[in-house]
Amino acid sequence: MTLTSDTDLGLQHTLKSEIGCSGTGLHTGETVSILLKPAPVNTGIVFRRVDETGQGAEIAAHVDNVVDATLCTTLGNEDGVTIATVEHLLAALAGCAIDNVIVEVNGSELPIMDGSAAPFVFLIECAGMIEQDTPRRVIEILKRVDISIDGREASLSPGSGFSVGFAIDFDSDAIGKQDMNVQLVNGTFKGEISRARTFGFAEEVDQLRRMGLARGGSLDNAVVVNGDEILNEEGLRYDDEFVRHKILDCVGDLYLAGAQIAGHFQGYRSGHAMNHQIVRALFADPTAWRYADAVDVTETPEPLAAIA
């Protein structure tokens, strides 16, 4: 995403034109296509199941609509319509400062592409973005909110712009302990986070498929760990690709707050469920946050993708 020097980061943005792609669903294994469409101000991110009919086909990308967090983020509505594996596209939309878009999908799951957010960032770059004549609203963190469950931790606290700190700890020597802290401005999402792929363990594949999951998973769209070895012939994209992907997932899950966070997220062994829970915990305490125009916060959150 290339933004000119006169781009107003305090305004809402949508896509300049429609653009689409197709691919395999990670869990369903089905071929699915999506179409990203420009949307008016204050629309937010809305998923539309075009293989469904009637009013029940639309689902707003909001934490209130999360219906499952098993290995991915799944949204649903009161009519029982669901859309799964939304986190990578949401991360790309957050990273490119896209506030308003309609995502038409002809199936129950978004395509996994290469397992990262980079193909979606590329898609958004190709479509282009336009400013809209309404201020961008952000969620400013006013005081620390934290949760801890079974040795896993997540918190949101005040901070300039938007930053994420994350630590993981796996028994496998191929992963081990990894941590990263990144200020998500000036191209760091696109350059340091977006290409990190989802990962899994070879010994869990059969069990997951018996559960109806990972039917579309392969070495083309995931890093697969077998004991202490990486099975992907090309190896890793980063030495710490695993924690970078956890940050990618977190950026997407936090966008379910309905606006970009202005503050700091810190996670230890957190996953989709805890990412959703920390947003719910934040909203449950009205003294911990406020809506603000982007220009009114201490430091305007910049787009997380490339700035030139």
Query: Active-site residue numbers?
Result: 272
For residue 144 the two structure tokens come to 């620390």
Is residue 287 within 8 Å of residue 158, measured between CB atoms? no
Beta-strand ranges (E) seen in the chain are 11-15, 19-24, 31-38, 45-49, 58-60, 66-68, 74-76, 82-84, 101-105, 129-135, 137-141, 145-149, 152-157, 162-169, 177-183, 199-201, 223-226, 229-230, 260-268, 289-293
What are the structure tokens assigned to 22, written together? Answer: 């197709």
Taking the CA atoms of residue 201, residue 202, residue 207 and residue 210 in that order, the dihedral angle to the nearest 10 degrees is: 120
How deeply is 269 buried, as exposed, middle or buried, from its count of CB atoms within 10 A (0-12, 13-18, 19+)?
A: middle
Q: Cα separation of 162 and 65, whole Å?
A: 24
Tokens of 58: 């639309």
Residue with tokens 């915990």: 281
Can you tell me the distance from the alpha carbon of 197 to that of 241, in angstroms, rounded to the nearest whole number? 7
Q: How far apart are CA 82 and CA 68, in angstroms?
A: 10
- The candidate with the shortest Cα–Cα distance to 222, out of 208, 239, 242, 203, is 242
Backbone angles phi, psi at 125, to 5 degrees: -60, -40
Q: Which residues pair with 226 in a beta bridge?
A: 229
